[in-house]
Structures are given as structure tokens and as C-alpha cells.
């Protein structure tokens, strides 16, 4: 893939390994300016690893290869050192993590944690601004994520805040320096259903106001449908299908995507009244079959699937399957 003018983030041939075991294989996609892209798949499919590899925050022992390019910066981010990545993180690319309970420092006041991300990059950029300015900015940011009583919240410690409040603090930190790319890793999964919708609104609004490209990781297809323009479907550390939201949900081509879509339809039940599921379970890392990673769970699999399926279609709209569905699924 070559970077177009509008590309904010280009990921190409991304592999992540732990020792001899491959966890991600040839992951590639691009985020254009202001675009909102969903990354979906079951737990263990490699969604979070993809995000951490882009951020340069992979856990110890995991090694990434391939290419990650960010508009306005030269070279491959995967080859950049900790100092260079630190300069980009929180300024050009930022991330909201899944666990609001543990992702904030328990010994630091919420407002100080927001002000810190301003201070880190203000210092590096040489543009000073006083601590008091940053505290006021932090207050504005908390207000911008529609925190009730932000002046009270900023003086609280994380344990004194609810899950939704903590995730707002995380979002305020992530948006503080007007990033080009915002990565959200299951930002609403740990939240009460009642606050999920508000949080999604804030993320979409926050990204739109700053013209930030959004990479939104989730296993909740309904969430993707409300938030994203495009979707990438991951399974077994590979992207198996990509396409516009509407098309992917109404006419999924890859059997895995079709299974995901079918199992998220809570109205569809079989004769016994059970919800549809994808047969089998996600294999443990490193134990995926050769060839098509989905073939051990796929009803369409044949001997031909022992060979890795080639990508069919455009990079943004295509699939990796030699027996794709070409019709819309029958509605029960």
C-alpha cells in the first residue's frame, strides 16, 4: 500500500510474534482524515494487539514487524525508538483503554492526570504555559466531555469516580492535545449500558470536532453500526473482511463475518429457541490452522482452504475467502 494524500495512518504487513508464535499476520489498513473505522472480532482475534503495536506499547516479549506510517512523520513507527514514539503518543496518536478501573493512576487526582498530558508535550514543544494554565485547560477538557461538576471531579481520585466518569477522564486525556488519530479499545465494554450511549456520542463528537481519524475496537456490532463508516473484521490475527458498515452488515461475504452478524441478531432463534452461534471456540494463540484460519469452524470449508486465501477486492472493500457468500443472508 502506498500512502495517499488523505491517509492519516497506514498499516501495512503488520506481524506480531512472541518467540516463534505468530499473533498477527500481515495486518494492513489505512485511516483517512476524519474517517471512523471499526475493528471487530471475537476476543483473542488480535484487535487490541493491533492497537498496541501501532502505539508502540506491546507487552514485553512481543515483537512487531511490518510498516506503520503516520501522516506528517517520516519512516516506520515500528522502527522508532521509545523517545520518538513517546513524543507522538498523547499528541499525534492517542488511545482510550478498555479498563477505566485500572487505567488511571490510583494515587493521582483526575485533574492532574489530564493536566499531565498537556504538560508532557508542552515541555517537549518548548512552549511553556504555566501549571495554572494547564489546570484551567484540564478543567475545560473535563467540561468538554460533559462531566457534571468538573471542578469537583478534577480534585477527586479515581476510586472516588464512577466507571463512566473515569472513562470520560481517559477521553479528556486522549483528546487533550488534539490528536490526528484516536484509538479506542473497547471503551464502553466495562460501562453500564445506560452510560455507554453517552460515551459513544462523546467519542464520535470529540473525534469529529478535532477532525481526528478514529480506530474503534469493539466486539459489539451494534456499536460499530452507530459509530463507524467502515469496518475491518479480524479473526486469528488476520483481517478477513473489510467494507463499508452498511454493506458489511447487510451482505457479509466472509463466513466468519456472516456468523458474527447472525449471532448479534437477538431476534433470530432456531426451532429450539436458541440464538445462532458460530460453532466451536477461538483457538488459543499459535494454534490456529494453516491456510484459512477460520476453516476449522467454517461450514463452507473444503480441502482448498488449506492454502492461505488471497485477498479479493479492494484493500478497503474485500475479503479473504475462496468460498464467499455473494447474497444477503436470508432473514428468518
Report the residue number, 90 or 259, with the smaller CB distance to other proteins.
Answer: 90
CB of 83 to other proteins, least distance (A): 6
Site for other proteins in 173-202 (CB under 8 A): 173
Instruction: Kindly give the pairing relationship between strand 62-70 and strand 36-40.
Output: unpaired
Residues 165, 169, 174: CA angle, nearest 5 degrees: 145
* Per rule CB under 8 A, count of chain residues that contact other proteins: 33
- Helix runs in the chain, H state only: 47-55, 82-88, 110-125, 131-144, 150-153, 163-175, 193-209, 221-227, 245-250, 255-263
d(CA 324, CA 292): 12
Closest by Cα among 93, 72, 74 to 5: 72
**Residues with Cβ within 8 Å of residue 202, at least 6 apart in sequence:** 145, 146, 168, 171
Q: Which of 146, 148, 159, 208 binds other proteins (CB under 8 A)?
A: 159
Q: What is the DSSP letter of 247?
A: H
User: Using CA atoms, how far apart are residues 136 and 104, in angstroms rounded to an integer?
Assistant: 20
Cβ proximity of 24 and 237 under 8 Å: yes
Give least dist CB 98 to other proteins, A.
9
Which of 89/253 has CB closer to other proteins? Answer: 89
Which of 98, 99, 34, 24 shows the shortest CA–CA distance to 54? 24
Member of 108, 152, 197, 222 binding other proteins (CB under 8 A): 108
- Interaction between residue 120 and other proteins (CB under 8 A): yes
Q: Minimum distance from CB of 120 to other proteins (Å)?
A: 4
Q: Which is nearer to other proteins, 182 or 199 (CB)?
A: 182
Residue among 93 and 228 whose Cβ is closer to other proteins: 93
Among 26, 129, 157, 313, binds other proteins (CB under 8 A): 157
Site for other proteins in 275-304 (CB under 8 A): none
Burial of residue 247 (number of CB atoms within 10 Å: 0-12, 13-18, 19+)? middle
53: contact with other proteins by CB under 8 A: no
Rounded to the nearest 10 degrees, the angle between the axes of helix 163-175 and helix 193-209 is 10
Name the minimum Å distance from CB 99 to other proteins: 6
Select from 40-48, 55-63, 278-286, 319-327 the region that touches other proteins (CB under 8 A).
Answer: 55-63
Identity of the residue, 199 or 298, whose beta carbon is nearer to other proteins in the bound complex: 199
Tell me how far CA of residue 108 lies from CA of 24, 47, 152, 155, in angstroms: 35, 30, 14, 9
In angstroms, what is the minimal distance from the CB of 307 to other proteins? 37
> Closest Cα to residue 42, out of 295, 234, 199, 212?
234
Residue 60 engages other proteins in binding (rule: CB under 8 A): yes
Q: Residue 172 or residue 278: which is nearer to other proteins going by CB?
A: 172
Q: Find the binder of other proteins among 27, 117, 145, 161 (CB under 8 A).
A: 117
Residues 6+ apart with CB under 8 A from 116: 108
Is 141 a binding residue for other proteins by CB under 8 A? The answer is no
- State the binding string over 77-106 for other proteins (x if CB under 8 A, else -): -----xx--xxxxxx--xx-x-x--xxxxx
Shortest distance in whole angstroms from residue 16 CB to other proteins: 16
- Closest CB to other proteins among residues 120, 285: 120
Q: Evaluate whether 214 touches 33 at the Cβ level (below 8 Å).
A: no
Q: At its nearest, how many Å lie between other proteins and the CB of residue 147?
A: 18
Summarize as ranges the residues that interact with other proteins (CB under 8 A).
55, 57, 59-61, 82-83, 86-91, 94-95, 97, 99, 102-108, 116-117, 120-121, 124, 157, 159, 170, 173
Amino acid at each position: 500500500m502506498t500512502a495517499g494524500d488523505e491517509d492519516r495512518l497506514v498499516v501495512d504487513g503488520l506481524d506480531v510474534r512472541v518467540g516463534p508464535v505468530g499473533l498477527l499476520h500481515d495486518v494492513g489498513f489505512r485511516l483517512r482524515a476524519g474517517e471512523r473505522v471499526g475493528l471487530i472480532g471475537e476476543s483473542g482475534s488480535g484487535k487490541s494487539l493491533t492497537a498496541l503495536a501501532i502505539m508502540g506499547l506491546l507487552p514485553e516479549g512481543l515483537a512487531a514487524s511490518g510498516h506503520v506510517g503516520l501522516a506528517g512523520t517520516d519512516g516506520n513507527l515500528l522502527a522508532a525508538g521509545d523517545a520518538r514514539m513517546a513524543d507522538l503518543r498523547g499528541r499525534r496518536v492517542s488511545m482510550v483503554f478498555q479498563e477505566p478501573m485500572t487505567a488511571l493512576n490510583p494515587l493521582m487526582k483526575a485533574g492532574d492526570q489530564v493536566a499531565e498530558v498537556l504538560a508532557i508535550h508542552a515541555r517537549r514543544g518548548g512552549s511553556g504555559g504555566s501549571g495554572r494554565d494547564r489546570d484551567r485547560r484540564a478543567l475545560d477538557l473535563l467540561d468538554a466531555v460533559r462531566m457534571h461538576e468538573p471542578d469537583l471531579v478534577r480534585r477527586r481520585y479515581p476510586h472516588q469516580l464512577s466507571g463512566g466518569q473515569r472513562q470520560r477522564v481517559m477521553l479528556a486525556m486522549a483528546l487533550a492535545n488534539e490528536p490526528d488519530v484516536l484509538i479506542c479499545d473497547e471503551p464502553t465494554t466495562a460501562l453500564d449500558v445506560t452510560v455507554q450511549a453517552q460515551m459513544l456520542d462523546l467519542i464520535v463528537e470529540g473525534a469529529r470536532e478535532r477532525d481526528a481519524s478514529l480506530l474503534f475496537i469493539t466486539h459489539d456490532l451494534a456499536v460499530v453500526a452507530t459509530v463507524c463508516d467502515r469496518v475491518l473484521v479480524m479473526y486469528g490475527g488476520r483481517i478477513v473482511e473489510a467494507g463499508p458498515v452498511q454493506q458489511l452488515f447487510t451482505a457479509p461475504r466472509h463466513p466468519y463475518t456472516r456468523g458474527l452478524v447472525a449471532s448479534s441478531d437477538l431476534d433470530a432463534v432456531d426451532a429450539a429457541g436458541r440464538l445462532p452461534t458460530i460453532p466451536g471456540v477461538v483457538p488459543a494463540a499459535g494454534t490456529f490452522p494453516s491456510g484459512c484460519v477460520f476453516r476449522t469452524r467454517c461450514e463452507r470449508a473444503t480441502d482448498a482452504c488449506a492454502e492461505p486465501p488471497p485477498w479479493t477486492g479492494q484493500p478497503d472493500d474485500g475479503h479473504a475467502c475462496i468460498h464467499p457468500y455473494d447474497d444477503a443472508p436470508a432473514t428468518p
